Amino acid sequence: MRTIYVEELIDEIAQLCIKANIDLPEDVRHIIELATVQEDWETASHILLDIQKNYQLSEKNSLPICQDTGMALVFLEIGQDVHLIGDIDAAIQAGIKKGYAKGYLRNSMVEDPLIRENTNDNTPALIYYDLVPGEKIKITIAPKGFGSENMSQIKMLKPSDGREGVENFILQVVKEAGPNACPPIIVGVGIGASFDRAALLAKKALLLDLEKKNPNPYYAEMEESLLQKINELGIGPQGFGGKTTALAVKILPFATHIAGLPVAVNIQCHVARHATTFI
């Protein structure tokens, strides 16, 4: 059994907030660079080059990649052999406050969805806990901008709709998003489980390595097929046309009820930010 005082998490979370907003993950950079080389529409190619310059300048000058520094999503995998002392939820919120203040990151959270008064410290963060074997804690911070989040959808399909119905819904969501989601986008898809769990699966899919194939051959083929169909829509970078509407499609399936086929699509813009550490 390993004992961890939750106060130890505050500085780690603060640093992750800053890192996630400044340093784009390597897999995202690589796939943008590859798309730039493969893009044959001049306007689209120039936009992709501008996107590269943006994240390079962000890293060089320690500035946020995007002005929308996001709703703070916190994913924790806590080893079952860890003994936490203190209020972990309070420590996480304190870390978010400290990181967003120290990094001069925009505060985007309102206390109530209808009254709309800004909390002025970007809290509360949304926190997701998973228990896993071991005696470590894995912390991932994923700032989620709402230009793309607002384009996300969920639908309860009938089992008889099958794969065709699932793919048609995903394509419909991308079409309706158009340029509003700041393409090129990453498409996270959750299939199965329940109404609420499908949405979480879709969001977690956005944290997967973009350069690694789905370990299930069926879904690996489905991801490639969907990516091709999405890029044939011709929306292109920032909606100016071209064949780079999406950089990747990532699918996370889960068991579901015999009478159901939930499908959630979580859209992510090209600024696919997330940072992880282990304690």
The answer to whether 75 touches 207, Cβ cutoff 8 Å, is: yes
Residue 112 pLDDT: 98
Distance separating the N- and C-terminal Cα atoms of the chain: 14
pLDDT at 5: 97
Residue with tokens 């089992």: 159
Looking at the chain, the whole-number percentage of residues with pLDDT higher than 90 is 100
pLDDT tens profile 175-197: 999 999 999 999 999 999 999 99
- Three-state secondary-structure class, residue 96: helix
Residue matched to tokens 């052999």: 81
- What is the per-residue pLDDT across 256-267, written as a single tens digit (0 to 9) for each? 999 999 999 999
Residue 117's contacts (CB-CB under 8 Å, 6 or more residues apart) are 110, 111
Q: Is the peptide bond before 237 cis (omega within 30 degrees of 0)?
A: no
Asked whether the bond before 184 is cis by omega within 30 degrees of 0, the reply is yes
Cα(234)–Cα(135) distance, integer angstroms? 48
The predicted pLDDT at position 238 comes to 97
Give the model confidence (pLDDT) of 150-161 as tens digits. Answer: 999 999 999 999
Return the residue matching tokens 């091709």.
228
State which residues of the chain have pLDDT below 70: none
- Whether the CA torsion 126, 144, 19, 26 is positive or negative: it is positive
Determine the pLDDT at residue 118: 98
